[in-house]
């Protein structure tokens, strides 16, 4: 079992707090977004991977409708009723689980409350989607606890709705789908219009480094939502001026953007250029991966980050420092910010033989620039979410 030490500690803390064993435990991994930044809610394409860090959620039924939810790292408990339909203003970490419970309740009656505890090893605020891992692990555990069978895509949509309604982040489905559809040593290629998902091999000549800058990454502050609103404004503009249907920015080419951007505010136009160009980069990256051209794949990652920096403006000096350093390090093929941006982590494509020396060079470059180290960890594409204990 991956992360068995975390699982064993979860069971120990659950037993100590609730004085019984859980009936069910589920696990969901975090994710890296390899390429395809802010394309999911624009009905575009993404290449991502589930990672070897994740969150466990343990639960057991109660005789009443009362729910007790414990954040295992803090050992702090929040109590609420299973019929609760409103997010909390305090202990906001509980809203992800409350939102998932609300989604389950909308599909069928919830028969009782639960005692739940979650624990994981995804660095918080690192842009690796600890929130989606919590949503998916709690969704799998509670669905099993209540005897429900839920399609993976439906569960992803429950997690997304929890983000929208209970956490206030108008995210797409990238994080939840990546967590659910991951596979060992495989990337996840997703078409977010049709929701067609396939796993493709990364190959033995590549792995990823995750460089966590610890720069503040708080999407609920509104920057994420403002970027999405700009994309929707641009979509409406192109729907008016182009001679073909435009349902999302996926339907606009870069050539069309250059020809018809007039009439858009410059900032909105640049925001739109990012997912439009990114969709083209993802398709090119998929072709490169299919032919084993990792150098080309990595170059597209660098280009993706530059578009994030210039057009979408969802990077920051800490992320830019690491990507600039990565360009100069032998063995590094590509690098870019991962996730929503505004802080968090950089994902670096590197040959496995060069991973250790490249990681040390990245950490040293960051320390020289900011006077403090960044965390560098080896990332392996990993299996998706699952129930790991039941009955």
Residues annotated as catalytic (active site), given as ranges: 175
DSSP 300: H
Q: How far apart are CA 226 and CA 377, in angstroms?
A: 31
Coil, strand or helix: which one is 186?
strand
Residues 330, 306 contacting (CB under 8 angstroms): no
DSSP 123: P
**Number of Cβ atoms within 10 Å of the Cβ of 386:** 13
Q: What b/e string do you get for 63-96 counting C-beta neighbours within 10 Å, with b at 16 or more?
A: eeeebbbbbbeeeebbebebebeebeeeeebbbb
Q: Which of 144, 204, 164 is nearest to 23 (CA)?
A: 144
Residues 311, 274 contacting (CB under 8 angstroms): yes
Query: Which tokens in the block code for residue 253?
Result: 């080419």
List the alpha helices (DSSP H) in 53-119. 94-107
Q: Is the dihedral of CA 322, 214, 130, 232 positive or negative?
A: negative
Q: How far apart are CA 302 and CA 305, in angstroms?
A: 5
Residues 360, 369 contacting (CB under 8 angstroms): no
**Segment holding 348, helix H or strand E:** strand 345-350
């Amino acid at each position: 079992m991956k992360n068995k030490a975390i699982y064993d500690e979860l069971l120990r803390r659950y037993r100590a707090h609730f004085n019984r064993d859980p009936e069910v435990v589920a696990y969901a991994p975090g994710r890296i977004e390899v390429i395809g930044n802010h394309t999911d809610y624009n009905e575009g394409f993404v290449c991502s991977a589930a990672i070897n860090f994740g969150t466990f959620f343990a639960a057991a039924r109660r005789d009443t409708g009362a729910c007790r939810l414990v954040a295992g790292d803090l050992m702090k408990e929040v109590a609420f009723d299973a019929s609760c339909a409103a997010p909390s203003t305090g202990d906001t970490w509980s809203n992800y689980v409350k939102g998932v419970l609300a989604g389950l309740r909308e599909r069928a009656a919830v028969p009782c409350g639960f005692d739940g505890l979650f624990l994981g090893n995804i660095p918080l605020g690192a842009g690796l989607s600890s929130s989606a891992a919590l949503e998916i692990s709690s969704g799998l555990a509670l669905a099993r606890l209540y005897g429900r069978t839920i399609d993976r895509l439906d569960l992803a949509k429950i997690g997304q709705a929890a983000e929208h309604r209970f956490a206030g982040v108008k995210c797409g489905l990238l994080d939840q789908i990546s967590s659910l559809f991951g596979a060992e040593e495989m990337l996840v290629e997703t078409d977010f219009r049709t929701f067609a998902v396939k796993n493709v091999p990364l190959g033995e000549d590549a792995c990823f480094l995750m460089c966590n800058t610890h720069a503040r990454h708080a999407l609920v502050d509104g920057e994420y939502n403002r970027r999405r609103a700009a994309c929707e404004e641009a979509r409406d503009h192109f729907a008016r001026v182009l001679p073909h249907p435009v349902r999302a920015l996926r339907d606009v080419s870069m050539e069309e953007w250059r020809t018809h951007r007039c009439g858009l505010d410059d900032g909105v136009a640049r925001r739109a250029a990012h997912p439009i160009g990114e969709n083209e980069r993802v398709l090119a990256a998929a072709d490169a991966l299919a032919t084993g051209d990792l150098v080309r794949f990595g170059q597209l990652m660098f280009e993706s980050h530059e578009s994030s920096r210039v057009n979408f403006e969802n990077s920051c000096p800490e992320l830019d420092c690491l990507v600039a350093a990565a360009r100069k390090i032998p063995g590094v093929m590509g690098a870019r910010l991962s996730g929503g941006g505004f802080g968090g982590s950089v994902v670096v494509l590197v040959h496995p033989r060069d991973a250790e020396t490249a990681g040390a060079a990245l950490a040293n470059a960051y320390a020289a620039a900011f006077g403090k180290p960044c965390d560098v960890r080896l990332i392996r594409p990993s299996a998706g979410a699952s129930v790991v204990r039941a009955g």
